[in-house]
Amino acid sequence: MVRADYRLRSVAADDERLEAYARLVVEVGLNLQPGQLLAISARLEHAPLARAVARAAYAAQARYVDVLYADPQVQRALIEHAADGDLGYSPPWLVSRFRSLGAEHGALLKITGDAEPEAFAGLDGGRVGRARMHAVDEASLALTDGVSNWTIAGYPNEGWARTIFGEPDVERLWEAVATCVRLDEPDPAAAWAAHIATLEQRAATLDERRFDRLRYRGPGTDLTVGLHPETHWLTALDTSAGIRHIANLPTEEVFTTPDARRTEGTVRSTLPLYVQGTAVHDLVLRFEAGRVVQIGASAGEDVIRAHIGTDDGAGRLGEVALVDRHSRVGTTGLTFHETLFDENASSHLAIGISSLEGVVGAAALSPEERHARGINHSSIHTDFMIGSPELEVDAVTASGETVPLLRRGDWQL
């Protein structure tokens, strides 16, 4: 019945939903301040949300809204034809864009919901992996560590719906996204405040216990991840340049920074991962002394191999995150084939750069100093999902006490 009602929505109601979503992004996700610059990274198919966010941002007294529409088909032409030495070219004006934003403490929005998650299918995987703008990515990632208020949000579109449902049922996807981001609540902002308070409480409980390491066991997974001794557990509620913002819409995780020297064992990813326009299926990584030493995948192996070869930190963990099965995203029962959503239905890990906010004092350290202290640095940050009902997650204290955290997807602490 709900679906039928939704299908009869008028254009005006659709507009209203889009405008409400845009306000949520601007007010709750970004907490945009008067006079701020806002840079939006989008794909062409995200134009309706980019435009609605621009309207909401100017209504909130943004100084200027810059929308950069990336086009994977143009990038595909580069990968197919460019000289090998030009694959990693970073246009200086794109570096300048992020540096200018940093200097002015501008806000950042990334819109996801990939209409073409396999845009680079059939291309040489090594070239796909090497076709990354390192300098642009570094300048962009630098903003997400306490410099800019930022968020990521998904926009339902035909291509994304087709990936999930096998048909372009955008309305069904809209319903799912609205559920995940609490747009179905009478007062979404209030619902978000309550939700974030719950996650913050969970992080505080984990923090009090000062665990030394996490232990994961499940089909294909037997992994120990050392936590950094100066670590804190965090939520997506972040404070950047004094502005509290929620960096992911949706978010259901608590996460922290591992010691990049202390991951041991094997982990199997439980959901497909999309890296640089390529689907990676059945990823298996084996770690020794913090570092990936073996990589397997039933599809996309050459791309993930090149991706992990990007730099030293790309083969070490930068994040461990725990999600229980009762999350809003999990209750939809969907695999979204989109990290922003799937990582909030499933415990996950990330290779690449650490969130500096997870470690006291880390923001003041150079990349080399961080590396020496086991705080990972890289030009990538790529999450992959490892959660399942079969996955058992324990925390272990320095004295060897084992405390169950997740059983059958239920939170134990």
Q: Is there binding between residue 411 and a second copy (CB under 8 A)?
A: no
CB of 67 to a second copy, least distance (A): 5
For residue 333, give the nearest of 192, 218, 180, 195 by alpha carbon: 180
Q: Is there binding between residue 20 and a second copy (CB under 8 A)?
A: no
CB of 279 closer than 8 Å to CB of 299:
yes
CB of 134 closer than 8 Å to CB of 90:
yes
For 7-160, where are the E strands, in sequence order? 37-43, 64-70, 107-112, 150-154
For the beta carbon of residue 186, count every other beta carbon within 10 angstroms: 6
CB of 377 to a second copy, least distance (A): 25
Angle made by CA atoms 336, 223, 302, in degrees to the nearest 5: 55
CA distance 387 to 402: 19
Q: CA dist 347 to 19, 59, 64, 411, Å?
A: 31, 37, 37, 11
Q: Which two tokens stand for residue 239?
A: 């404070």
Contact residue for a second copy among 28, 32, 50, 178 (CB under 8 A): 50
Contact residue for a second copy among 14, 17, 33, 82 (CB under 8 A): 82
Contact residue for a second copy among 14, 66, 169, 185 (CB under 8 A): 66
Q: Which two tokens stand for residue 211?
A: 């665990």
CB of 13 to a second copy, least distance (A): 20
For the beta carbon of residue 92, count every other beta carbon within 10 angstroms: 11
Burial of 335 from C-beta contacts in 10 A (0-12 / 13-18 / 19+): middle
CB of 51 to a second copy, least distance (A): 5
Decide whether 126 or 220 has the Cβ nearer to a second copy.
126
Contact residue for a second copy among 16, 86, 222, 401 (CB under 8 A): 86
For residue 246, give the nearest of 18, 31, 19, 22 by alpha carbon: 31
Q: Which two tokens stand for residue 141?
A: 């990632």
Contact residue for a second copy among 19, 27, 69, 261 (CB under 8 A): 69
Paired with 249 in beta bridges are 153
3-class state of residue 261 by DSSP: strand
Segment contacting a second copy by CB under 8 A, of 54-62, 227-235, 262-270, 353-361: 54-62
Please give the size of the binding site for a second copy, defined by CB under 8 A.
36
Q: Is there binding between residue 134 and a second copy (CB under 8 A)?
A: no
Contact residue for a second copy among 13, 15, 16, 61 (CB under 8 A): 61
Q: Which two tokens stand for residue 173?
A: 């996807």
CB of 75 to a second copy, least distance (A): 9
Q: Note the Cα 172 to chain centre separation in Å.
A: 23
CB of 304 to a second copy, least distance (A): 25
First to last CA, the chain: 38
Place of tokens 């039933």: 298
Burial of 20 from C-beta contacts in 10 A (0-12 / 13-18 / 19+): middle
Q: Is there binding between residue 179 and a second copy (CB under 8 A)?
A: no
Q: Is there binding between residue 11 and a second copy (CB under 8 A)?
A: no
Decide whether 67 or 196 has the Cβ nearer to a second copy.
67
CB of 50 to a second copy, least distance (A): 7
Contact residue for a second copy among 2, 8, 11, 81 (CB under 8 A): 81
Q: Is there binding between residue 121 and a second copy (CB under 8 A)?
A: no
Decide whether 49 or 214 has the Cβ nearer to a second copy.
49
CB of 106 to a second copy, least distance (A): 10
Contact residue for a second copy among 13, 15, 16, 73 (CB under 8 A): 73
Decide whether 73 or 298 has the Cβ nearer to a second copy.
73
Contact residue for a second copy among 7, 16, 77, 363 (CB under 8 A): 77
Q: Is there binding between residue 217 and a second copy (CB under 8 A)?
A: no
Segment contacting a second copy by CB under 8 A, of 45-53, 206-214, 243-251, 379-387: 45-53
CB of 241 closer than 8 Å to CB of 149:
yes
CA distance 292 to 409: 26
Site of interaction with a second copy (CB under 8 A)? 44, 47, 50-51, 54-55, 57-59, 61-69, 71, 73-74, 77-78, 80-83, 86, 89, 91-94, 96-97, 100
